[in-house]
Amino acid sequence: MSRLTVTPEDRPGEPALRTEDPAAIAAALAEIGVRFERWEMPAAIAPEDPDEAILAAFRPHLDALIAGTAGTADVIRMRGANEAYPALRRKFLDEHTHTEDEVRFFVHGAGDFVLHVDGRVYDAHCTAGDLISVPMGVKHWFDAGEQPFCTVLRVFTDTSGWTPHYTGDRIAERFPVG
Protein backbone atom coordinates (compact mmCIF):
# COMPACT_ATOMS: atom_id res chain seq x y z
CA MET A 1 0.00 0.00 0.00
CA SER A 2 1.23 3.49 -0.84
CA ARG A 3 2.28 5.63 2.11
CA LEU A 4 3.64 9.10 2.78
CA THR A 5 5.56 10.03 5.91
CA VAL A 6 6.61 13.66 6.41
CA THR A 7 9.22 14.39 9.08
CA PRO A 8 11.02 17.59 10.10
CA GLU A 9 14.68 17.23 9.05
CA ASP A 10 15.85 18.04 12.58
CA ARG A 11 13.65 15.37 14.22
CA PRO A 12 14.20 11.98 12.57
CA GLY A 13 11.74 9.43 13.91
CA GLU A 14 9.10 12.07 14.78
CA PRO A 15 6.76 12.21 11.78
CA ALA A 16 4.45 15.19 11.44
CA LEU A 17 2.26 13.29 8.92
CA ARG A 18 1.80 9.64 8.03
CA THR A 19 -0.95 8.64 5.61
CA GLU A 20 -1.91 5.79 3.29
CA ASP A 21 -4.74 7.75 1.64
CA PRO A 22 -3.79 8.31 -2.03
CA ALA A 23 -5.67 11.65 -2.20
CA ALA A 24 -3.89 12.92 0.93
CA ILE A 25 -0.55 11.72 -0.44
CA ALA A 26 -1.18 13.52 -3.74
CA ALA A 27 -2.25 16.72 -1.95
CA ALA A 28 0.75 16.80 0.41
CA LEU A 29 3.21 16.15 -2.41
CA ALA A 30 1.51 18.70 -4.69
CA GLU A 31 2.34 21.36 -2.09
CA ILE A 32 6.03 20.83 -2.91
CA GLY A 33 5.49 20.49 -6.68
CA VAL A 34 5.63 16.68 -6.81
CA ARG A 35 3.06 14.85 -8.91
CA PHE A 36 1.60 11.64 -7.44
CA GLU A 37 -1.14 9.60 -9.09
CA ARG A 38 -2.62 6.13 -8.89
CA TRP A 39 -3.11 4.58 -12.33
CA GLU A 40 -5.52 1.80 -13.17
CA MET A 41 -3.51 -1.28 -14.00
CA PRO A 42 -4.23 -2.77 -17.44
CA ALA A 43 -4.70 -6.50 -17.94
CA ALA A 44 -2.44 -8.68 -15.83
CA ILE A 45 1.22 -8.02 -16.45
CA ALA A 46 3.65 -10.58 -15.09
CA PRO A 47 7.05 -9.59 -13.68
CA GLU A 48 8.74 -11.74 -16.33
CA ASP A 49 6.89 -10.14 -19.28
CA PRO A 50 9.23 -8.57 -21.83
CA ASP A 51 9.87 -4.82 -21.69
CA GLU A 52 8.02 -4.30 -24.98
CA ALA A 53 4.83 -5.85 -23.57
CA ILE A 54 4.98 -3.73 -20.44
CA LEU A 55 5.57 -0.54 -22.45
CA ALA A 56 2.72 -1.44 -24.82
CA ALA A 57 0.32 -2.03 -21.92
CA PHE A 58 0.97 1.48 -20.60
CA ARG A 59 1.34 3.21 -23.98
CA PRO A 60 -1.74 5.49 -23.59
CA HIS A 61 -0.44 6.77 -20.23
CA LEU A 62 3.10 7.11 -21.54
CA ASP A 63 1.98 8.95 -24.66
CA ALA A 64 0.13 11.46 -22.46
CA LEU A 65 3.23 11.97 -20.28
CA ILE A 66 5.59 12.36 -23.24
CA ALA A 67 3.23 14.44 -25.42
CA GLY A 68 4.95 17.48 -26.88
CA THR A 69 8.44 16.45 -25.75
CA ALA A 70 11.27 14.46 -27.24
CA GLY A 71 10.80 12.02 -24.38
CA THR A 72 11.36 8.32 -24.13
CA ALA A 73 10.41 5.55 -21.71
CA ASP A 74 12.08 2.35 -20.62
CA VAL A 75 11.68 -0.44 -18.08
CA ILE A 76 14.02 -1.06 -15.17
CA ARG A 77 13.84 -4.15 -12.96
CA MET A 78 15.42 -4.73 -9.58
CA ARG A 79 15.28 -8.32 -8.36
CA GLY A 80 17.01 -9.45 -5.19
CA ALA A 81 20.44 -8.53 -3.99
CA ASN A 82 23.63 -9.72 -5.63
CA GLU A 83 27.30 -8.80 -5.29
CA ALA A 84 26.87 -5.60 -7.33
CA TYR A 85 23.70 -4.45 -5.57
CA PRO A 86 25.24 -2.73 -2.49
CA ALA A 87 27.18 -0.33 -4.75
CA LEU A 88 24.12 0.29 -6.93
CA ARG A 89 21.94 0.88 -3.87
CA ARG A 90 24.52 3.33 -2.46
CA LYS A 91 24.30 5.33 -5.71
CA PHE A 92 20.53 5.69 -5.26
CA LEU A 93 20.75 6.36 -1.49
CA ASP A 94 23.03 9.37 -1.80
CA GLU A 95 21.00 12.58 -1.90
CA HIS A 96 21.01 14.06 -5.40
CA THR A 97 19.15 16.21 -7.90
CA HIS A 98 18.54 16.00 -11.65
CA THR A 99 18.40 18.57 -14.44
CA GLU A 100 15.07 17.14 -15.59
CA ASP A 101 11.99 15.79 -13.87
CA GLU A 102 12.35 12.22 -12.59
CA VAL A 103 9.18 10.39 -13.62
CA ARG A 104 8.60 6.82 -12.43
CA PHE A 105 5.64 4.43 -12.55
CA PHE A 106 5.66 1.28 -10.42
CA VAL A 107 4.39 -1.74 -12.36
CA HIS A 108 5.38 -4.33 -9.71
CA GLY A 109 6.86 -4.21 -6.25
CA ALA A 110 7.72 -1.13 -4.25
CA GLY A 111 10.35 1.47 -3.41
CA ASP A 112 10.74 4.71 -1.49
CA PHE A 113 11.34 8.10 -3.07
CA VAL A 114 12.55 10.30 -0.24
CA LEU A 115 12.45 14.05 -0.88
CA HIS A 116 14.28 16.74 1.11
CA VAL A 117 12.39 20.03 0.74
CA ASP A 118 12.16 23.15 2.91
CA GLY A 119 13.41 21.51 6.12
CA ARG A 120 11.22 18.42 5.76
CA VAL A 121 11.79 14.88 4.61
CA TYR A 122 8.96 13.33 2.56
CA ASP A 123 9.18 9.52 2.34
CA ALA A 124 6.85 8.45 -0.48
CA HIS A 125 6.56 4.65 -0.34
CA CYS A 126 5.39 3.83 -3.86
CA THR A 127 3.77 0.53 -4.82
CA ALA A 128 2.36 -1.03 -7.99
CA GLY A 129 0.05 1.49 -9.68
CA ASP A 130 1.84 4.61 -8.38
CA LEU A 131 3.20 7.37 -10.59
CA ILE A 132 5.58 9.89 -9.04
CA SER A 133 7.18 12.83 -10.79
CA VAL A 134 9.94 14.61 -8.88
CA PRO A 135 10.68 18.05 -10.39
CA MET A 136 14.18 18.86 -11.54
CA GLY A 137 16.32 20.33 -8.81
CA VAL A 138 14.45 18.68 -5.92
CA LYS A 139 16.86 16.94 -3.53
CA HIS A 140 15.97 13.28 -3.10
CA TRP A 141 17.15 9.70 -2.86
CA PHE A 142 15.60 6.30 -3.59
CA ASP A 143 15.63 2.99 -1.77
CA ALA A 144 14.30 -0.33 -3.02
CA GLY A 145 15.44 -2.08 0.17
CA GLU A 146 18.00 -4.75 0.94
CA GLN A 147 16.16 -7.34 -1.19
CA PRO A 148 14.69 -5.25 -4.00
CA PHE A 149 11.75 -6.33 -6.09
CA CYS A 150 10.30 -3.81 -8.47
CA THR A 151 9.51 -3.21 -12.12
CA VAL A 152 9.42 0.50 -12.90
CA LEU A 153 8.74 2.54 -16.02
CA ARG A 154 11.12 5.48 -16.34
CA VAL A 155 10.21 8.49 -18.47
CA PHE A 156 12.94 10.83 -19.69
CA THR A 157 12.72 14.09 -21.58
CA ASP A 158 16.50 14.16 -21.92
CA THR A 159 17.28 11.09 -23.97
CA SER A 160 20.71 10.81 -22.35
CA GLY A 161 18.85 9.38 -19.36
CA TRP A 162 19.30 9.47 -15.63
CA THR A 163 22.18 11.68 -14.50
CA PRO A 164 22.48 12.37 -10.75
CA HIS A 165 24.07 15.50 -9.29
CA TYR A 166 25.06 14.57 -5.75
CA THR A 167 24.66 17.13 -2.95
CA GLY A 168 27.22 15.57 -0.59
CA ASP A 169 24.68 15.64 2.25
CA ARG A 170 24.50 12.34 4.20
CA ILE A 171 20.91 13.02 5.31
CA ALA A 172 19.70 9.63 4.03
CA GLU A 173 21.69 7.98 6.80
CA ARG A 174 19.54 9.80 9.40
CA PHE A 175 16.27 8.88 7.67
CA PRO A 176 16.03 5.15 6.96
CA VAL A 177 12.95 4.32 4.91
CA GLY A 178 9.85 2.83 6.44
Residue 135 within any structural domain of the chain: yes
pTM of the model: 0.93
Residue 108 within any structural domain of the chain: yes
Residue 127 within any structural domain of the chain: yes
Residue 21 within any structural domain of the chain: yes
> Does residue 9 register a pLDDT over 60?
yes
For residues 1 and 9, give the distance between their C-alpha atoms in angstroms, rounded to a whole number: 24
Q: How far is CA 166 from CA 77, 89, 91, 92, 95, in A?
A: 23, 14, 9, 10, 6
> Does residue 161 register a pLDDT over 60?
no
Residue 46 within any structural domain of the chain: yes
Residue 153 within any structural domain of the chain: yes
pLDDT single digits (tens) 10-50: 999 999 999 999 999 999 999 999 999 999 888 789 999 99
Parent domain of 19: 3-173
Instruction: State the CATH number of the domain containing residue 22.
Output: 2.60.120.10
Residue 178 within any structural domain of the chain: no
Split into its structural domains, the chain has a count of 1
